[in-house]
Structure 1
Amino acid sequence: MPRMSLRVALQMDPMESLKIAGDSTFHIMLAAQARGHRLYHYRPDHMTWRGERLYAEAREVVNLQRVVGDHFTFGETVKLDLGKDIDVVWMRQDPPFDLNYITATHLLERITDETLVVNDPASVRNAPEKLFVLDYARFMPPTMITRSLDETRAFLAEHKEIVVKPIYGNAGSAVFRIGADGANLAALVELFGEMWVESFMVQAFLKDVSQGDKRIVLVDGEVAGAINRIPGKGEIRSNLAAGGTAAKTELTPDELEICAALGPELKKRGLLFVGIDVIGGKWLTEINVTSPTGIVAIDAFNGTDTGGLIWDAVERKLAERAAG
């Protein structure tokens, strides 16, 4: 049976700014284009709620290709009713996970009875990366959420080396390693207090990070693949956006156990595309649900088609909705 052509709206960053060589959203869009789906692009600030309907000023995206500087063409601007005119909305703009992001989840939540929104906006709002992971503390390294310098000093005294990072940071930004002497800890806590109103995360430093930080992608609760991200020289951050390099990898028994524990809950929450981070083959550090990445490298190393797997899952969910 031939596939139905879907109308897909992507709430995302500017098309012009995409680094297409490794961008997961672009990878998903190419897979959609290959299936004949129609794609529309809009930014969060292009949405309008009026008369109990949610609209977006969007542009159709055509002629997608992996050619740097010539990777897309826009059609005319159209006003879309995201509930009536669109089959699937993708929330794929990068963090920060701020009030603008949260507002977008509230607006999109109002159309989920009409349109499939991926990932589910209420679940995205209720599962920030560094807080949702606390549900699985048994897999995590020693972790603390605090704003207290005294508590942080006591944690450092216990664990000798720690990592301090903002609770809503992304792409490895503002991640600091503090040694046993505590040099600059007070200044760092002061800086965090000035920069962010939220608490920050403190974790025991894992020496195994030098061997890499594994990104494992789950699609509708099932493992789709993984890459090992290796920090650059003199770095503890392995994020590809922070200079890390990707390497082919396999999953350890502990990592498979983590995925088996998470998978059913991710599926239940409508978190269809998720990336988890694991260090040392066993330490879960984050569950990324806002705009996870990594599938381009995974497919390059493994010869897989994660974009296709994602669209298989989307189409399956739409069929289930249609069947009631």
Structure 2
Amino acid sequence: MATGMRIAFIVDPIEKLKAYKDSSIAMMRAAQARGHAVYSIGRDSLSVRDGLVSARATALALHDDDHHWYVSGETAQEALRSFDAVLMRQDPPFDAEYVAATWMLERAVAQGAKVWNDPRAIRDHSEKLSISEFPQFTPTTLVARDAGDLNAFIDEQQDAILKPLDGMGGIGIFRVRADDPNRNAIVETLTDNGRRTIMAQGYLPQISEGDKRVLLVGGEVMPYSLARIPKAGETRGNLAAGGRGVAMPLTDEERAVAEALATPLWARGLLIVGLDLIGGRLTEINVTSPTCMVEIRQQTGYDIATKVIEALEATQ
């Protein structure tokens, strides 16, 4: 085991993180438990001075109390290459500032920094559109902005899910049936009257059994998913939309999909990947800040956060 590593986490404002459910905090705690020093970095502190990428990094001491889970130590401007590993765990939206961060992080990698997930891979990997690389595993899917194309797809499927390409947490997701009197308004709104590209997928009734989050770590398939089961009257399983998380062993079909994707995604520098599957069909590939580690550990005892730190140790 590589000991005494310095591991920095680029995260949302640390005072806003919720320790009882946050996967980044679970990884911080796992890193400290294995003898590593933990630091937090705000994305807004990233900078490039005369070519060198650095940021304000704050040393953290982690505690088990979810209400007072950290104590801040010294803050210093440090070159990212001075850390043994840097984890990019910034939540979407994937906007212009997010892209700018990946540009800076890519320069840091060129200077010797070890950044996970790889910043170029994050930038090149649309969490929605990336499933088009693996059509054999997906539901029937259309990516378009033309209202005629989208309406023809709804007519063909009779029951469809429409969603923006840059959303998270279930925001902006609509279920639209062919006879929905609001379908034109929904299409117009989501596409901004044909100015924005969206995704349409055939509706999968297995959503009632849960939108399954399957995690890949360092090219290894984790054995449990978190089934996000919609609340009554909902078609979205997202926990942020009121879904209920239930940890389950992977089905044979889910494992087959995950195994097929694990090696090629890891080869691109994607250390932590969250696959979303409904009825065994792949609907999204999450790479910005995949979650659900805490819920899986609480319900099964399987510690994915520690698996992440072990994978980082193996890269040293």
Give the TM interval when normalised to the shorter protein: over 0.9
- Equivalence map 1:164-243=2 (5 Å): 164-194=162-192, 198-224=196-222, 225-243=224-242
* Aligned with 1:100 (options 97, 105, 114): 97
- In the TM superposition, residue 63 of structure 1 has moved relative to its aligned partner by 3.4
Q: Which residue of 2 aligns with 1:286?
A: 284
1:158: which partner in 2? Answer: 156
Taking the aligned partners of 2:194 and 2:128, their CA distance within structure 1 comes to 15
TM-fit CA distance, 1:189: 2.1
Residues 156, 182 of structure 1: 8 Å contact kept: no
Cα separation, partners in 2 of 1:116 and 1:197, compared to 1, 3 Å: farther
Query: 1:112 — aligned with what?
Result: 109
* Percent identity between the two aligned chains: 40
Q: Quick one: which of 121, 128, 131 aligns to 1:130?
A: 128
Deviations 1:207-247 (A, max 9, x none): 11011111111111111131211111111111112111111
Change (3 A) 1:157 1:196: closer
TM-score of the two chains, using structure 1 as the length reference? 0.93
Alpha-carbon separation, structure 1, partners of 2:217 and 2:62:
27
Structure 1 residues 1-324: aligned runs within 5 Å: 3-68=2-67, 70-83=68-81, 85-113=82-110, 114-194=112-192, 198-224=196-222, 225-280=224-279, 282-318=280-316
Residue 196 of structure 1 and its aligned partner are, at CA, apart by: 9.8
CA distance in 2, matches of 1:55, 1:198: 35
8 Å contact kept, 2:146–2:194:
no
Structure 2 stretches lacking a partner, 5+ long: none
Residues 172 and 237 in structure 1, CA contact (< 8 A), matched pair in contact too: yes
- Partner of 1:258, secondary structure, is helix
Q: Which moved more, 1:177-186 or 1:192-201?
A: 192-201
The answer on whether the counterparts of 2:162 and 2:173 sit within 8 Å (CA) in structure 1 is yes
**CA distance 1:43–1:196, shift in 2 (3 Å):** farther
Superposed displacement of residue 198, structure 1: 3.6
Q: Relative to structure 2, which stretch is displaced further, 266-275 or 175-184?
A: 175-184
Distance in 1 separating the partners of 2:174 and 2:60: 40
Q: Distance in 1 between matches of 2:125 and 2:18?
A: 27
The letter of the residue matching 1:187 is: A
| Contact 1:21-1:66 within 8 A present in 2 as well | no
- Aligned partner letter, 1:237: R
For 1:196 and 1:254, how far apart are their aligned partners in 2?
Answer: 37
Per-residue deviation at 1:30? Answer: 0.6
The answer (yes or no) to whether the contact 1:123–1:270 under 8 Å persists in 2 is yes
